[in-house]
Amino acid sequence: MEAGRLPQVGQLLDSPFLQEAVRKLSRPLVTETVRRVLGHYRKQRCFIKNEDDQAQLEADILSSCYKLIRTRQTRVINATGTVIHTNLGRSPISPELWEAVSELNTGYSNLEISLAKGKRGERKGLVNYLVGALTGADDALVVNNNASSVWLLLNELAAGKEVIISRGEQIQIGGGFRIPDIMRMAGANMVEVGTSNITTADDYLDAITENTAMVLMVHRSNFAIRGFTESPDIKEVARRLPKHVLLAVDQGSGLVTETFSKDEVPADRYLRQGADLVCFSGDKILGGPQAGIIAGHKELVKRLEKNPMMRAFRPSRIIYSLLEELLIRKLNGEECGRGIAERAQRNLETNRQWAERYLPEWGEHVSLFEDQLVIGGGTLPDEYYPSWSLELNSSKPANKVLDELREMDVPMIAVIRNDKVRINLATILPEDRDVVARQLTHYFMTTHTVEPSK
Ligand SMILES: *Cc1c(COP(=O)(O)O)cnc(C)c1O
């Protein structure tokens, strides 16, 4: 290269040092990055005069590429102790389930053709029967997420009419999903009854007019009200509602067969107690892909399916196939039919034993102690379960350690409690244990420094 010049973009792009970045980012994105770095050099009047300058330029380009690579979707280790973590992709799908639908999804499928008749058929496959077997509903439908479920049932069954809701259930779920806004957007008129802590059956019943279409009950997903509280007996509300008023419940989590939470009302119980429709998420506790499931009376489900917005809300076949597989495995009692909330709790003991094997090697860098886990993801906001955690004994500020853990090849997302970094074992997936052990051992040997003992 001539002295005092900058290399050509094309020449840099073909150099071996950038090939991994091209594979991970695509050629156009790397080209843009190279142009940007060269532009910066030109502006600063930095030119390449020797090998050191060239090495510096390459390092600068690589570090810009690396920043972009870090924004790619990537597997991370959840060491937070929050099992269904909204920022970490909510519920991981069990690997067996994913494997089981791979062949179906990489080929054509009978998504909308009846194999018996050779004619156009329904998209649902077995899903509605399986949801029926799970919840006792006589029909069900699936949409892209549970927020859509709520909108759809309000719009189809209550547009232009009144919907009665308790003041204690006017919730906002993450991402700006507020029940009053959804009501308005769906065209329903909200009628609030009760108070934040107390709503009775009479509150609902006294608010009914001839223009009332629905009573909507909403699970308080992400907060708990304690102390002097009262919620009505749903059986009583259902029994006393006049014929023209529907009872719908947004149950949220999709808990049905799971037994770890005694206080949580399972979706099927709402139906047994008289709800006409219940809706919930497909991933949270249920354990499938993100989706919204609405279960209940056949004639209501049929109406929902004919709503014009169903064209926008209907999920792809990937979602149907995963749900179908999950529900079959769940109904057969298989391990991979359990959601992550259940699987994580069953992993606790093996995760502790796994960590104990490494304790001699990790020495004074960590201590193992009894901790807690939460389910998270807008479910069971007030319940804590036992767990085990590693606490890092570090001479560095906890924030710095947290950053270093995120910098690892497979980034580890940990938490700080009492100024110390904690790695909660409850949320480490069995298939990630090896990589966690390898990364921690390497970290303790190279980067991490221990607080001198006092
Ligand atoms: C999580 C949740 C929703 C939203 O579900 P998404 O699948 O995230 O759209 C709605 N209602 C309740 C009660 C929830 O817990």
- Reported as a single tens digit per residue, the pLDDT across 71-103 is 999 999 999 999 999 999 999 999 999 999 999
CATH topology (fold) of 94-337? Aspartate Aminotransferase; domain 2 (3.40.640)
Pairing of strands 177-178, 172-173: antiparallel
DSSP 3-state of 431: helix
Using only C-alpha atoms, the chain has a radius of gyration, in whole angstroms, of 27
* Separation of alpha carbons 399 and 46, rounded Å: 35
Question: How much is the pLDDT for 1?
Answer: 45
- Per-position DSSP letters for 198-267, written without gaps between them: B--HHHHHHT--TTEEEEEEE--TT----SS-B---HHHHHHHS-TT-EEEEEEES--SS--S-SSSPPH
Testing ligand 1's pocket by substitution, the residue of 151, 170, 177, 319 carrying the most ligand atoms inside 8 A of its CB is 177
pLDDT band at 226, cuts 50/70/90? low
Residue 3 predicted with pLDDT over 60: no
Q: Where are the domains of the chain?
A: 9-69, 77-87+342-446, 94-337
CB 315 within 8 A of CB 142: yes
Q: Mean per-residue pLDDT for 342-349?
A: 92
* Separation of alpha carbons 78 and 432, rounded Å: 10
Closest atom of ligand 1 to CA, residue 377: 1
Q: Is 378 in the pocket of ligand 1 (CB under 6 A)?
A: yes
Distance of CA 429 to the CA centre of its chain: 15
Question: How much is the pLDDT for 197?
Answer: 80
Predicted TM-score of the model (pTM): 0.92
451 Cβ neighbours under 8 A, 6+ residues apart: 393, 394, 395
Q: Is 149 in the pocket of ligand 1 (CB under 6 A)?
A: no
Q: Mean per-residue pLDDT for 388-415?
A: 97
Residue 370 predicted with pLDDT over 50: yes
Considering only CA atoms, which residue is closest to atom 13 of ligand 1?
A: 252
Considering only CA atoms, which residue is closest to atom 12 of ligand 1?
A: 252
Q: Is 147 in the pocket of ligand 1 (CB under 6 A)?
A: yes
**Number of C-beta neighbours around residue 18 at 10 A:** 21
Query: How far is ligand 1, taken at its centre, from the CA of residue 262, in Å?
Result: 20
Q: Is 91 in the pocket of ligand 1 (CB under 6 A)?
A: no
User: For residue range 110-160, what is the model confidence (pLDDT) as tens digits?
Assistant: 888 888 888 888 877 899 999 999 999 999 999 999 999 999 999 999 999
Question: Rounded mean pLDDT of the chain?
Answer: 92
The CATH number of 77-87+342-446, from 3.40.1360.10, 3.30.420.480, 3.40.50.970, 3.90.1150.110, is: 3.90.1150.110
Residue 109 predicted with pLDDT over 70: yes
Residue 171 predicted with pLDDT over 90: no
Q: C-alpha angle 425/429/430, rounded to 5°?
A: 100
Packing angle of the helix pair 146-158, 179-186 (nearest 10 deg): 50
Question: How much is the pLDDT for 399?
Answer: 97
| Dihedral over Cα of 56, 60, 62, 66: its sign | positive
- Identify the residue with better confidence: 347 or 61: 61
**Number of C-beta neighbours around residue 224 at 10 A:** 12
* Phi, psi values for residue 37, rounded to 5°: -65, -40
User: For residue range 186-201, what is the model confidence (pLDDT) as tens digits?
Assistant: 999 999 998 878 889 9
Q: Is 82 in the pocket of ligand 1 (CB under 6 A)?
A: no
Q: Mean per-residue pLDDT for 265-272?
A: 94
pLDDT over 70 percentage in the chain? 95
CB 226 within 8 A of CB 198: no
* Separation of alpha carbons 198 and 179, rounded Å: 18
Closest atom of ligand 1 to CA, residue 218: 13
Closest atom of ligand 1 to CA, residue 283: 7
